[in-house]
Chain A
Amino acid sequence: MARKKESPSQTAGPYVHIGLTPNFTGIRGVYASDLGKETGAAGSDAITLTGTVYDGAGEAVRDCLIEFSQSDGKGSTKLSKVGRKTGKFTGFARVPVNLKTGEFRLKTVKPGMVAGPGGSLQAPHVTAWIVARGVNIGLHTRIYFADEADANAADPVLSLVPKSRRKTLIAEKVAKNRYRIDIRLQGEDETVFFDA
């Protein structure tokens, strides 16, 4: 049978929140809470990852929404279902950036090492998927951690990225359990985006 073609992507537009995080944009009473509002991370293991997404003119992209997915602290990707109950770690978060400042904030745990190709182990990383007005197809990137220098140096995916651009994927540690990374859609220091 002839293969079907994947449905073509279209931009999520500026009002993506209505569909994906309605409570965030003031549509209350339809869903009890916004999907992916919490990863389920709690306690002393929790880390916070913040940053801003910028366009090619250096303006914050204030209407964008980011989905994060990752392993748990031990590197497992077989995680709890995303359902009505919260509190268990799902590895999934949906984060609309602040509509005024453009900053995102993700509370999660530091991921463990996930298997890579050929029996390798990958450095701890969070997968991110970015949609916004003007983004015609969701942008896929990863966030690594600056305090994992040895693991980063051996990472099979980072090694596919030209050396000069790897820093665009690495979050700085700004305090205990706090990391920061800015994402640049275009321009100097453009973030590396993937095709997988």
Chain B
Amino acid sequence: MAKETRRAQTATAKPGAVFPLRDRKWHPKAYDPGYRSSILRSPKKKLVMIPQTASELAGPVFGHDLIGNKDNDLITNFARSGKSAIGERIIVHGRVLDEQGRGVPDCLVEIWQANAGGRYRHVNESYIAPLDPDFGGCGRTLTASDGSYRFATIRPGPYPWPNGPNDWRPAHIHFSLFGQAFTQRLITQMYFEGDPLIPRCPIVRTIKDPKAIQQLVAKLDMDGTKPMDSLAYRFDIVLRGARSTLFENRLEGN
């Protein structure tokens, strides 16, 4: 492994690294006072750079038996028999890619969101908008061999939150992704094209590069719509990409 890794190494990586380093300037910084909660929850000391060993290159492998056939349908997966969630019916679909543009297969994609009124089903949630008895707010799927995934859901509502005197979250869906390696693990949020709350949001603004923010904005996709049923939004997600193919934690050439 060591020999192959050396061959694969480029100027952007530490010796022995399979994945190029994360671009920490593209991601939000831990400390961003505009997002109040980060003030006391951000490490102040520098991250310690460590090599990518088997511990960082391994990761859980998910069996297809895990996924139930309604898991990716948030409109019905919590609904009472014969009912469905209230709200604008949408399809959210796209591909999970790596930095080399390759589709990531068998990637576990988990999502969660507020209901159409901007209310989450959570014990700590107290917003005045009502719960929808037919909406739970969670879904999951495994990507296909080309990295594609698809959810049916309702468009979540925006909601106010205690940060500044009058901060509102834009409509968003939380995304959690596993690649093949621990180093690829990512949680992020998807926003909706054209939402005027996006540039006003202190959480969005923890990302400093406008191009990086654009990467989290799903585009209306008329070709993906289901006529007379659901609008579609297209959202591709990029995970860190190994310079070589990872196969059972061994490098398989380049």
Tell me, yes or no, whether A binds B.
Answer: yes
| Closest chain B CB from A28 CB (angstroms) | 9
| Closest chain B CB from A14 CB (angstroms) | 6
Given A6-B23, A12-B187; A185-B42 close (CB under 8 Å): yes
Whether the Cβ atoms of A77 and B238 lie closer than 8 Å is no
Q: Which residue on A lies nearest to B17, using beta carbons?
A: A196
Whether the Cβ atoms of A91 and B136 lie closer than 8 Å is no
- For A154, the chain B residues whose CB sits under 8 A away are none
Whether the Cβ atoms of B203 and A11 lie closer than 8 Å is yes
Whether the Cβ atoms of B56 and A196 lie closer than 8 Å is yes
Q: Is A156 located at the chain interface by the 8 A CB criterion? A: yes
- For B207, the chain A residues whose CB sits under 8 A away are 8, 10
Q: Is B212 located at the chain interface by the 8 A CB criterion? A: yes
Whether the Cβ atoms of A4 and B60 lie closer than 8 Å is no
| Closest chain B CB from A169 CB (angstroms) | 10
Q: Is B111 located at the chain interface by the 8 A CB criterion? A: yes
Given A82-B61, A84-B65; A136-B38 close (CB under 8 Å): yes
> Given B29, B41, B123, B239, which contacts A7 in the complex, CB threshold below 8 Å?
B239
Give the distance in Å from the alpha carbon of A142 to the alpha carbon of B39 in the complex. Answer: 23
Give the distance in Å from the alpha carbon of A160 to the alpha carbon of B203 in the complex. Answer: 33
Query: Which of B55, B59, B100, B183 is packed against the most chain A CB atoms within 10 Å?
Result: B55
> Given B16, B38, B78, B188, which contacts A8 in the complex, CB threshold below 8 Å?
B188
Given A114-B55, A136-B30, A193-B43; A1-B101 close (CB under 8 Å): yes
Q: Which residue on A lies nearest to B102, using beta carbons?
A: A4
Q: Is B145 located at the chain interface by the 8 A CB criterion? A: no
Q: Is B230 located at the chain interface by the 8 A CB criterion? A: no
Whether the Cβ atoms of B26 and A8 lie closer than 8 Å is yes
Whether the Cβ atoms of A196 and B110 lie closer than 8 Å is no
Whether the Cβ atoms of A116 and B41 lie closer than 8 Å is no
Q: Label chain A's interface by main secondary structure.
A: loop
Whether the Cβ atoms of B206 and A136 lie closer than 8 Å is yes
Query: Which of B60, B207, B239 is packed against the most chain A CB atoms within 10 Å?
Result: B60
Whether the Cβ atoms of B30 and A19 lie closer than 8 Å is no
Q: Is B225 located at the chain interface by the 8 A CB criterion? A: no
Q: Is A173 located at the chain interface by the 8 A CB criterion? A: no
Q: Is A125 located at the chain interface by the 8 A CB criterion? A: yes
Q: Which of B3-58 contact A (CB under 8 A)?
A: 16, 21-24, 26-30, 32, 35-45, 47-58
- For B203, the chain A residues whose CB sits under 8 A away are 10-11
Which of the segments A63-71, A101-109, A174-182 contacts the partner chain?
Answer: A63-71
A interface residues, how many (CB within 8 angstroms): 87
Whether the Cβ atoms of A194 and B41 lie closer than 8 Å is no
A-facing mask of B160-177, CB < 8 A → 1, else 0? 000000000000001010
- For B53, the chain A residues whose CB sits under 8 A away are 114-117, 122, 157
Q: Is B189 located at the chain interface by the 8 A CB criterion? A: yes
- For A185, the chain B residues whose CB sits under 8 A away are 40-43
Give the distance in Å from the alpha carbon of A13 to the alpha carbon of B37 in the complex. Answer: 10
Give the distance in Å from the alpha carbon of A4 to the alpha carbon of B23 in the complex. Answer: 12
Give the distance in Å from the alpha carbon of A116 to the alpha carbon of B16 in the complex. Answer: 11
- For B143, the chain A residues whose CB sits under 8 A away are none
Whether the Cβ atoms of A31 and B68 lie closer than 8 Å is yes
Whether the Cβ atoms of A192 and B38 lie closer than 8 Å is no
Give the distance in Å from the alpha carbon of A22 to the alpha carbon of B81 in the complex. Answer: 20
Give the distance in Å from the alpha carbon of A82 to the alpha carbon of B142 in the complex. Answer: 13
Q: Which residue on B lies nearest to A57, using beta carbons?
A: B40
Can you identify 16 A-B contacts, CB atoms within 8 angstroms? Answer: A4-B100, A4-B238, A7-B188, A8-B212, A19-B110, A29-B136, A56-B40, A56-B44, A69-B60, A81-B61, A84-B66, A134-B37, A134-B39, A137-B30, A160-B48, A191-B43
Closest 4 CB pairs of A and B: A19-B112, A83-B63, A134-B37, A77-B58
Q: 14 more A-B contacts (CB under 8 A) besides A83-B65, A136-B27? A: A3-B100, A6-B26, A7-B188, A10-B188, A16-B174, A18-B112, A25-B122, A91-B58, A91-B60, A114-B54, A115-B53, A127-B182, A135-B38, A191-B43
